[in-house]
Structure 1
Amino acid sequence: MLTPRQLWGLVALTLMWGVNWPMMKYSLRELSPLYFRALTMTGGAVWLYAFFRARGVRMWPARSEWRQIAVLALPNMLGWHLLSIFGVKALASGRAAILGFTMPVWTVLIGTLFFGERLTRRVVFATVAVALAIALLLWHEAAALAGRPVGVLWMEGAALAWAIGTLMMRRSHPSLPVQALTVWMMLLSAAVIWLLALSLEPWPQWQFSAPMWGSLAYGVLINYGFAQIIWFGLARHLPPATSAMSIMAVPLIGTASATLIVGEWPSWQDGAALIAVMAAMAAVLLPPRTAARTAPHKETA
């Protein structure tokens, strides 16, 4: 059972991650995608490095650990964050969040196809539900006068990268603390994104409005900062069903908060796709009832 502190931490984390989607969309009104991602990821990584080092976490990798950091960073950080920011640029932020959180389904499906994991009715249902959600959003984007169907492809590419990275993380056994691993994956990915930004986008003027500076601060301090710290504090103690429900709530909050922050009103296709994706996530993340019934109860001292 969750303690009150864990419960409030979980609520805060879900809100932070959900609100981040329209906040990113707001930032892209005044800053190009690559510079936005490079700036916020660098700032967040530096802030996390200082925080965890002050807490006594070993932050500097050994020579033998660098290769693993780089390999894991490719899909988990570079692939996900690079592709998703172009998806947010092209799509409504709530729609991007819905598509991005098809990741758990892709993780299970890839595990079934390539790693010998069992194909269950839940996986089949989740796959069909995600396909329906993608079809609904592609249909809406193609039918809209200023639709950007390519944005759907950006977001699904990001979700696939995240799914592959998740499977790689499950099969790796890093000796570096996970906090340090995350920070260095962020720093290496940010360095690549800085190079891409300098090569492909014009240099920003850095004359932003006050709300824009607030949005950038949110990305650095909240999304890449406090949210990560809360997650590291909760991850080891949350029951699977609880963490699953938290993840499922993120696209819902992203879609709802987008109306207030950037004035995006969801269409019926968005609502139907959100329901389909949440059902798919529930199918692959929530434990079966039979497993919950037969699970042994912990003895209390």
Structure 2
Amino acid sequence: MQLSRTQTFFLLTFLVAMWGVNWPLSKYALEFATPLLFAGLRITIGGLILLFFALPRYRNLNLKRTWHIYLISGLLNIILFFGFQTFGLSMMPAGLFSTIVFMQPVLLGIGGWLWLGESMNGFKITGLILGFIGVAVISLNDGSGHISTIGILLGLASTITWTFGTIYMKKTSAKVDALWLTTLQMIFGGIVLLIAGTTVENWTDIVWNQTFISMLSVIAIFCTALAWLVFFLLVRSGEAGKIGSFNFLVPLIAIVISVLFLGETITAKMVVGLILIIIGIALVNLKMKSLQKRGKHRAHPL
């Protein structure tokens, strides 16, 4: 299905907005739930919602020959990514943590060069350097008590697993159906997270009030299931490459919402680090976007 420019614009806007609000919403929801159980709930619910859209495409499943792809992808993109992400988010401001995680497009530049045969150029090198300097600036502890070293490490771990998961998805994209891959990795990863959470956490620690149920519903439906479904539509239409160019807006949205609604503060150190990271990501994506004009056949999923 080929999308019009208007449809593409609205889908990209929706996707970036959902990824942006996801961080402060998840941060707030963690006040009512433990990390692993919360991650397992949002992912499992999101996967079951996507299953509704995937079932009509059951002929594309081919589970006997591709089961290992679903498992590996689920491990990297769901279990490790959301596991590290949820624990790290409970230790740091939502906007700041999202900035670290959304260095993924920069790290993907390295992975694409090493394992996907993509070129390494001046734009990418400069962007990578600026991105890592930005994280270093943010990570400098000024004694304010707002920066958690463990939280930063978990953010970087989340970014790295997402990067490897994305590279693996790109390398195996011709062997599996994108919607089924997204659906099954969510269901598989969500169940594993729920089992792990049940082992080390207590369901009784979850505060099942109206606020938490509302937050969980919004995050699972809009920030997880529908956001991934939109991503799938963009991939099918050949517009996935544009997503990387818009990624740098996600931390900005997360920080603005966190400041307005969660009472988080912005320090000069955070602003400097954020600017460096945004410039780095923009430089990487700028060159990648120009390269796509010469190779439109190449997809660039997140």
Do they fold alike, i.e. is TM over 0.5?
yes
Residues 184 and 211 of structure 1: CA distance in aligned 2, closer, same or farther (over 3 Å): same
Larger radius of gyration: 1
- 2:136 equivalent to 1:135: yes
Taking structure 2 as the reference length, what is the TM-score of the superposition? 0.88
Aligned CA RMSD, in angstroms, stands at: 2.5
Report Cα offsets for 1:121-172 as digits up to 9, x if no partner.
Answer: 22221221122111112114x6223531110000001101111111112222
- Tell me by how many angstroms 1:245 deviates: 3.0
Report Cα offsets for 1:160-198 as digits up to 9, x if no partner.
Answer: 111111111222245331101111111111122112111
Partners of 2:133 and 2:219 in 1: CA distance? 31
The percent of aligned pairs where both chains have the same amino acid is 22
Q: Tell me which residue corresponds to 1:221.
A: 221
Structure 2: which 5+ residue stretches go unaligned?
297-302
Which is worse superposed, 129-138 or 104-113?
Answer: 104-113
Q: Tell me which residue corresponds to 2:279.
A: 279
- 2:157 equivalent to 1:157: yes
- Tell me by how many angstroms 1:241 deviates: 6.5
Taking structure 1 as the reference length, what is the TM-score of the superposition? 0.88
Q: Tell me which residue corresponds to 1:21.
A: 23
Q: Tell me which residue corresponds to 1:4.
A: 6
Q: Tell me which residue corresponds to 2:251.
A: 251
Give 1:30's aligned amino acid.
F
Report Cα offsets for 1:269-293 as digits up to 9, x if no partner.
Answer: 2222221111111122223787588
> How many residues are matched?
294
Partners of 1:6 and 1:180 in 2: CA distance? 22
Partners of 1:18 and 1:194 in 2: CA distance? 25
Q: Tell me which residue corresponds to 2:87.
A: 86
Partners of 1:163 and 1:125 in 2: CA distance? 19
Give 2:214's aligned amino acid.
G
Q: Tell me which residue corresponds to 1:65.
A: 66
Residues 19 and 287 of structure 1: CA distance in aligned 2, closer, same or farther (over 3 Å): same
Conserved 8 A contact 1:73-1:185: yes
- Tell me by how many angstroms 1:9 deviates: 2.0
Structure 1: which 5+ residue stretches go unaligned?
297-301
Give 1:218's aligned amino acid.
V
- 2:105 equivalent to 1:104: yes
- 2:44 equivalent to 1:50: no
Partners of 1:75 and 1:251 in 2: CA distance? 22
- Tell me by how many angstroms 1:113 deviates: 4.7
Conserved 8 A contact 1:75-1:162: yes
Report Cα offsets for 1:58-96 as digits up to 9, x if no partner.
Answer: 475422221121122221222211111111111100011
